[in-house]
Amino acid sequence: MMKRALISVYDKENILDFAKFLVENGVEIISTGGTYKYLKENNIDVLEVSSVTGVNEMLDGRVKTLHPNIHGGILAIRSNENHMKSLKENNIDTIDYVIVNLYPFFEKVNDNISFEEKVEFIDIGGPTMLRSAAKSFEDVVVISDKKDYELVKNELINDKVVSYNTRKYLASKVFNLTSSYDAAIANFLSDDIEKEYLSVSYKKEMNLRYGENSHQKAVFYTDTVNKSAMNNIEKLNGKELSFNNIRDMDLAWKLACEFEKPACVATKHSTPCGVAVSFDVYSAYIKAYTSDPVSIFGGVIAFNKTVDEKTASELVKIFLEIVIAPDFTEKALEVLKTKKNLRVIKCSVKASDKYEYIKVDGGILVQEADNTIYDELEFVTDKKPSEKELDDLEFAMKVCKYVKSNAIVIAKDNVTLGIGGGEVSRIWASENAVERAKKFNLDNLVLASDAFFPFSDVVEYVAKNKVVSIIQPGGSIKDQDSIDKCNELGISMVFSKIRHFKH
């Protein structure tokens, strides 16, 4: 019996060569719509699918292959006598190869077209044929990825058949693709956080050398539906990105984008180590660097404005892993490229993820992204912060949001002076932040805390160390103890009413 192949591809790259190869090896080709026309115009001997189904395409091409003559030919188990008897009784021929790639929903969902136009790029017949063929992989060779044409071709040339393991592998690729395709559509139609099933759709961007540690394998996947910061980066210089690079860069970029004025953020081990806002990027970098010149070494630097030559000349004076910014002047790029391994990343898209996912053993936690600082401030002490102190308090709280809990940030003039985080006690985090701030010997400092004070000990300690104003969310049953202590010591306290735990 002559072998049959059904070919229906949106992306027609390399399909002509593969179709010619099949015909030359005695395979009869069936095709649909645009693919049929394309093959016919290029002198490939091909049958139109309507000649197999006996029904013309209808509903503007929505219905072409949804027919027993197609799916019966794909799904029949060749070793099952009843299946083969049914095919014979219904004059259905088997289909042995299914070569299909899908309407480009992943790409079109982000195009500037109407909702209705996007819906038309939801493929129905393609996934149905692919899934049918993948289920029947013991009898059917299914190809959903144009990169696999050569794999199948080489096996047919060398072994005359496509091996079981290859057919199984190709089937697994189909279900991997269609599950992600369906998930993208589900999330396009509804981004409700409380859906019955968690549908996520991510595509492999690159293999990474290793994960957090050298014995761990790692891969970077990017969202197929939501185009945000980390799937819109362009590497202009340097080595390939690592697992830890991407994590640090993500946090640094998010924090830099919190500010409107020129800002510089230095991160190390997924936590800020120096942050400053100033009148230009050069000044912001110098201030961020000065705030912690030790930790910044080997770190990641993010800017929210274009990096100029003057700033670049400072950046190359120390070892850095990454510099990320919306853009770089031509001269700045020339300077940065003198550091062969320095990863220079251009990103002009602000962070916009709606949800965060945390993997636990046997499950995934999903929450809305923490995309706010505070809604309304409550001034709870007799003394009120000055306008300048209030500006510094807001700055410190923006940084605090990105520091591991328990988080304490001490700042002045929109520059971090002491950062304490990742401690199991808030007083310990405060002590760490104060010790780092002491070396600057400055007065009139402000402090931000990611969560409430369960005792008045933090207020008492930091007031002895030149902190004059505090911002914290409030919400403890002992809030009044901290308020009373502030009033006793003559410092101001503001409640943000929003907690920013980062575990």
Which DSSP category does 339 fall into? S
Distances (CA, A) of 236 to 52, 328, 341, 465: 52, 10, 11, 44
Per the DSSP assignment, residues forming a β-bridge with 443 are none
User: Catalytic: which of 20, 135, 153, 383?
Assistant: 135
Indicate the angle between helix axes 149-159 and 164-189, nearest 10 degrees: 160
Length of the chain: 503
Q: In this structure, how many other beta carbons lie within 10 angstroms of the beta carbon of residue 217?
A: 10
Cα gap 458→160, rounded to integer Å: 77
219, containing H or E segment: strand 218-223
Q: What angle is formed at CA 343 by the lines to CA 342 and CA 349, rounded to 5 degrees?
A: 150
- Where are the alpha helices (H) located in 292-424, listed in sequence order? 309-315, 330-336, 387-400
User: Catalytic: which of 3, 235, 239, 269?
Assistant: 269
Q: In this structure, how many other beta carbons lie within 10 angstroms of the beta carbon of residue 362?
A: 5
> Active-site residue 503, yes or no?
no
Could you give the maximum distance between any two Cα atoms of the chain, in Å? 95
**501 alpha carbon, distance to own chain's centre:** 21
Q: Is the dihedral of CA 27, 33, 34, 37 positive or negative?
A: positive
> Active-site residue 215, yes or no?
no
Q: Outline where DSSP puts E strands in 343-450.
A: 343-347, 355-360, 363-368, 378-379, 408-412, 415-420, 445-449
Distances (CA, A) of 271 to 104, 139, 330, 409, 420: 38, 53, 30, 12, 10
Supply the residues annotated as catalytic. Answer: 135, 269
